[in-house]
Amino acid sequence: MLQSSDDNVPCRITRLDNGVRVVTEPMPAAKTASLGIWIEAGSRHEGPGQEGMAHLWEHMAFKGTATRDALAIAKELDILGGLANAFTSREATCFHIRVMDAHLRRAFDVLADIALHPALDPEELAREQAVIVQEISMVEETPEEKVHEDFWAAAWAEPAIAHPITGTPRSVTAATPKSLQAWRRERYRADAVTVVATGAVDHETLLALAGETFGKLPATPRPDSRPAGAFTPPRLAVRRESEQNHVILAYPSVGNTSPERFAHTILATLLGGNMSSRLFQEVREKRGLAYSIYASVSGLADAGIFEIQAAVDPERTGELLAVVRGELDAVAGGAVTDEELDHTREHLKGLLYLGAESSENRMMRLARNILLFDRHIPLEETAAALDKVTRDDLAGIARASFAPEKTGLCILGPTAAIP
């Protein structure tokens, strides 16, 4: 048993004989429980012609099982009064729900059913394929999302990393029950499943439930995984009729398992993570160049990108880029003050501890740490890692990452052109 030092609450991890992990972290004062069923099967696990299968399976889970049709699933979730949803990322698929403690057993039954036994009715599949094609079209018509998808695709040489999570209209419509089942058999393995619950939970109860359902999954060999490969800085111009140019500046960062991830997170937050950040103050407050500007780290387990995104009047695009580069150069030159670093650190620690009071946020954090590190990471350990980051660390990252030859740039808009 692992001990959580955050609040003297035990976090327990048990691995079933077939490899399924069952993880719980009780929150003594909680009256609700958050449950997540995580499968390490995302878009990076799709080969050529399989693009979008993980996301399509997530959609099909709610369209019916061997014992419940789509309406029955919807009604049962509504009766529970819970907040149920699912999502697909590049590295995992998650089905999750938050309910009153008295409803956890029933919620587990529904969630496990849709995760394990989705029906693949051809008519429902055709409908959902059409829905996802519409979802893809919505991204195409939303400049803020379109520029990110185009940039991400151009930034990676490895096709499994580069393609959209949703797939393409061609790959989605080409999927058949046979091809979907073949992908699922390979990827929905026992050792790829982690059942996580936080809040008003009892480990032995959840372990028994998981054993009755997920314990029946056969143990199969883990397929080989391909590394993400290096970030290749793209320089991409996409012409589109719109009122603004949508701009992404990007640089190499680190993966979510790197010890340096804390320094990269602090640097992104200090530059563009909140209203007092350097870029927000310089770009919006002082110059009125953009309504908003963001900096963040988009990370996979083994690789990451440091991104800065803004929308700007086409005629002032060059000015925006000059201002951003000026701030990056200043940080590389050691301009960050002790006060700035302390302010950013306290902001991130505040978000960390505030999030821990929600059973859902706590479940998400716990699950990601289990998937990445196979262990619970106490809040204090993360806070201590943030405290260790120094001004020299930030300047060193900036000097190493923000070099001209490592700069990726994507501009989507009416006058899109790479300066």
Verify that 322 and 191 share a domain, yes or no.
no
Q: Say if residues 88 and 58 touch (Cβ distance below 8 Å).
A: yes
Nearest to 47 by CA among 215, 178, 171, 212: 171
Cα separation, 19 vs 360, in Å, equals: 24
On whether both 136 and 51 belong to a single domain, the answer is yes
User: What is the pTM (predicted TM-score) of this model?
Assistant: 0.93
Cα 86 from chain centre: 12
Residue 223 lies in a domain: no
Residue 226 lies in a domain: no
Could you tell me if 367 and 270 lie in one domain? yes
pLDDT digits (tens, 9 = 90+) for 277-314: 999 999 999 999 999 999 999 989 999 999 999 999 99
Q: Does residue 222 fall inside a structural domain?
A: no
CA–CA separation, 151 and 254 (whole Å): 18
Tens of pLDDT, residues 87-136: 999 999 999 999 999 999 999 999 999 999 999 999 999 999 999 999 99
DSSP conformation letters of 225-289? ------B---EEEEE---SSEEEEEEEEE--TT-TTHHHHHHHHHHHHSSTTSHHIIIIIIIT--
Query: Is 58 among the catalytic positions?
Result: yes
pLDDT at 363 over 70: yes
Question: Which pLDDT belongs to residue 3?
Answer: 37
Higher-confidence position of 416 and 305: 305
Tell me: pLDDT of 8 over 80: no
User: Is 5 a residue whose pLDDT tops 50?
Assistant: no
Whether residue 384 has pLDDT greater than 60: yes
Residue 47 falls inside a structural domain? yes
| pLDDT of 9 | 54
Give the DSSP H/E element, type plus range, for residue 124.
Answer: helix 122-140
State the residue range of the domain holding 306: 235-413
Q: For 257-262, what is the mean pLDDT?
A: 97
CATH number at residue 100: 3.30.830.10
> b/e for 210-249, b at 16 or more Cβ within 10 A?
bbebbbebeeeeeeeeeebeebebbebbbeeeeebbbbbb
Q: Specify if 350 maps to a domain.
A: yes
pLDDT tens digits along 193-223: 999 999 999 999 999 999 999 999 988 888 8
Query: With left for phi above 0 and alpha for psi between -120 and 50, is residue 256 left, alpha or beta?
Result: alpha
Sheet containing 293-299, strands listed edge to edge, beginning at the edge strand earlier in sequence: 235-239, 408-413, 245-253, 304-312, 293-299
Give residue-wise pLDDT tens across range 23-76: 999 999 899 999 999 999 999 999 999 999 999 999 999 999 999 999 999 999
Residue 230 lies inside a defined structural domain of this protein:
no
> What single-letter amino acid sits at 298?
S
- What is the mean predicted confidence (pLDDT) over 390-418? 92
pLDDT at 238 over 80: yes
The single-letter DSSP state of residue 106 is H
Task: State how far the Cα of 194 lies from the Cα of 311, in Å rounded to an integer.
Answer: 39
204 plus 248 within the same structural domain: no
Q: How confident is the model at residue 416 (pLDDT cuts 50, 70, 90)?
A: low
For residues 241 and 331, state if they share a domain: yes
Residue ending a domain, among 182, 216, 250, is 216
Share of the chain above pLDDT 90, in %: 89
Q: Which of 25, 40, 51, 58 is catalytic?
A: 58
> Is there a domain that residue 227 lies in?
no
Split into its structural domains, the chain has a count of 2
